[in-house]
């Protein structure tokens, strides 16, 4: 039972961090790694939010790489 609780807690922390990252990413980061998405509206950004929340470590890495290449 303790293992199940630990896994549920870890998933909750992962997705909470993903949601916080996702909000920042859809407002500022998506246009840095995908220039076509720069003109995208709010609906598009809300559609991609669940995927961004799930894949946030990968997208964070790409966002950092894009930032380094632009500097």
pLDDT at 23: 96
Q: How far is CA 36 from CA 5, 40, 57, 58, in A?
A: 42, 8, 22, 19
Span 22-63, pLDDT tens digits: 999 999 889 888 888 888 899 999 999 999 999 999 999 999
User: What pLDDT was estimated at residue 16?
Assistant: 98
Distance CA 6, CA 4 (A): 5
Token duo for residue 2: 């303790």
Query: Taking Cα atoms as reference points, which of 2, 1, 48, 43 lies closest to residue 25?
Result: 48
List, in order, residues 6 or more apart from 1 with CB less than 8 Å away: none
Domain that holds residue 38: 2-70
User: What's the pLDDT score for residue 38?
Assistant: 81
């Amino acid at each position: 039972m303790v293992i199940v609780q630990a896994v549920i807690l870890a998933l909750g922390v992962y997705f909470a961090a993903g949601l916080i990252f996702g909000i920042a990413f859809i407002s500022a980061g998506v246009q840095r790694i995908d220039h076509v998405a720069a003109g995208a509206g709010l609906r598009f950004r809300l559609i991609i939010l669940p995927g961004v929340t799930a894949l946030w470590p990968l997208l964070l890495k790409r966002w950092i790489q894009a930032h380094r290449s632009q500097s």
